[in-house]
Amino acid sequence: MFCHQCEQTARGIGCDISGVCGKKPEVAALQDLLLYGLKGLSIYAEKARQAAGTVDEEISRFTIEGLFSTVTNVNFNPARLEVLIRKCYQLKERARALYEQTWKAKNGTDAAKITEGPAAWVPATDLAGLIRQGEGQGVNTFHENEDIKSAIEILTYGLKGMAAYADHAAILGKKDEEIFVFIHRALAATADKSLGLMDFVGLAMECGKLNLKTMELLSQAHTERFGHPTPTSVSLGTRAGKAILISGHDLLDLEELLKQTEGKGIYVYTHGEMLPAHGYPGLKKYAHLAGNYGGAWQDQQEEFAQFPGAILMTTNCIQRPAESYVQNIFTSGLVAWPGVQHISNRDFTPVIKRAQQLSGFPETPGKQIMVGFGHQAVLSVADKVIEAVKGGAIRHFFLIGGCDGAKSGRNYYTDFAEKVPKDSVILTLACGKYRFNKLDFGDIGGIPRLLDVGQCNDAYSAVQIAQALAGAFGVGVNDLPLSLILSWYEQKAVAILLSLLSLGIKNIRLGPSLPAFVSPNVLKFLVEQFNISPISTAEADLKAILK
C-alpha cells in the first residue's frame, strides 16, 4: 500500500505498511480499486450524458457515495468495500450500455470500444482477486510526471471532500445536476493521459468553485430542515439517566435518533463535529438533547471507553474501537468497521436497547460554551460589528479553524488563540475548535470574541461573513483585517482550501504540516499565486499579520 491523503501520513511521506488511521493494506487496496472503478464509471457517465443528455440518478448518487467511502476514517470494512466495488462495475456497465445504445440509434453504427484503462476494467471474481487488482491502482500509478500526479491528487482529494458535502445535502433532499456532471467530468479527466499540468490546475480551481456551490446547497438543506442556527449555550456536564453519544456530521441521523429516544428516559449527547447541532432550533427543541461530551475525533478511544452508554458514529471520524467499548458502538451511513454493528434505514432500535442496558450518567454540572454563530446570526448584528471596526474597538478578525488531529504541532492553534490581542475577534469552525473553545475570551462591546460558526460543513457561513464584511467596507476580502489560520487533516479540508483559492483568497497560513502530496513545483505555484505559507510560531505569525 501507499497512501498520503491525510495530514498524519507516516513520516510525513506516506503510509506503506499500515495506515496511521488504522487502514490495513487490503482495505487500502480495495479503496484504490473503488476509486479506479469510479473513474471508469465516470468516463461512461460523461459519454452517456453527451449522447443521451442524461444518466440515471442512481449512478450520480453512487458516485458521491463511493468517493465519500474512500475519505479518511470512513470505511474500514473489506466486505462492505467489496459490495461497493461490484455495484460500481454494474453501474459502469449500465452507463456503457446507455451510451452505446444511444450512439447507435443516432449514428447507425456501433460506438468505438474502450479496450483499456478504468472504463474497460472487469472486477475479479473473489475478494482476494479484487485486493490484487487494487494493489496495482494506487496513487503512484496516477501519472509518471511528479507535478501532474500531484495536481491529479489535489483534484482527486478535492472531489472526495466535495462528494462528502454533496452526499450530506442529497440525504436531506438537496441535489444539483451541475455538481454530478462536474464530478464525472473531473474524475474521467484524471484517467486521461493526454492532459497536462495546467489542465488539472484548472480543474482543481473549478472543483473549488463547485465545492462552494455544494456547501451552499448543504447550508440550505440544513437551514430549511432545522432552521438557522442561533447563539446557544451548551452544557459540558451530564444529566442523571441513560445516555447515547452521537458523533460525526449527519444531522438527519441526530434528528431521527432524538425522535426515537423521546420519552424513553435517554439523554443524547453530541461529540466532535456534532457540537454545532445544538444551535439549530429544529434540534435543540428536544429537551433530552443534553449537551456535549468529549472533544475532537482523535481522543475517542479514551473518551468512548469512559462513556457509560451507547455510541453512534454517523460519518467519517471513526477510529479502531477498543475492546472496552466495541459492544457499545454502532455505525450508520457510509461508516463501517469490521465487527461493529451497522444501522440501516435509521432504525436506531439496537442503539437504544444497548443504552438502556448500560448504567448511564449521574448528575454532574459542567461548564457552558457557546455555539450557533452561523452567517445569519453574525450578519444580523453586522451593524454593531462594522461600528466596532470603524470605531477601533475591533482591530482584526482571525479565522482559526479546520480539522483537529493527534499529530504533534497542533498545540500551535491553542497558543495562537490565546495570544490573539484582546481587541480582535476569533471565528472558528470544524473540530479544530476543541483546541481552544473552552477558554474564556470575553467580548467586545457585547460581541463575543469567539464565534463558533459550526461544522467543517459550515465553511460556507464563514465565506458569507467575510464577503458581507468586504461589501460593507467596499473592499475585497483580501483587504479586510481578516487572517485565515487553518489546520487540515483529511480530504474535506482540501475541498475547502480549493474553494478559498477559487475565490482568490490569499495569505492563508496552513498547518500543522503541508500536504505530502504537493510536489515542490506545485507548492511553488501556490505560494506565488496565493501566498500560502506554513504556520511557524504563534508569536512570529501574529507579529507578521499585525505589523
Quick check: helix, strand or coil at residue 142?
coil
What angle in degrees, to the nearest 10, is found between the helix axes of 349-357 and 251-261? 60
**4-55 confidence digits (pLDDT tens):** 999 999 999 999 999 999 999 999 999 999 999 999 999 999 999 999 999 9
Q: How far is CA 311 from CA 237, 300, 366, 430, in A?
A: 17, 11, 21, 20
Measured distance CA(288)–CA(412) in Å, rounded: 36
Among 319, 311, 303, smallest CA distance to 343 is for 311
Measured distance CA(191)–CA(197) in Å, rounded: 13
Strand order in the sheet with 482-487: 450-454, 424-429, 396-402, 482-487, 509-511, 533-534
**267-320 confidence digits (pLDDT tens):** 999 999 999 999 999 999 999 999 999 999 999 999 999 999 999 999 999 999
136: CB partners within 8 A, 6+ apart: none
What values do phi and psi take at 360, rounded to 5? 75, -170
Percent of the chain with pLDDT over 90: 99
Among 250, 182, 173, 253, smallest CA distance to 212 is for 182
**Structural domains of the chain in order of their starting residue, each with its CATH number:** 10-224 (1.20.1270.20), 232-357 (3.40.50.2030), 373-546 (3.40.50.2030)
99 neighbors 47 (Cβ within 8 angstroms): yes
Quick check: helix, strand or coil at residue 516?
coil
200: CB partners within 8 A, 6+ apart: 148, 151, 152, 154, 155, 189, 190
Residues of the chain with confidence (pLDDT) below 70:
none
C-alpha cell at 367: 461548564
**484-504 confidence digits (pLDDT tens):** 999 999 999 999 999 999 999
Which amino acid appears at position 324 of this protein?
Answer: S
Neighbour count for residue 345 (Cβ, 10 Å): 7
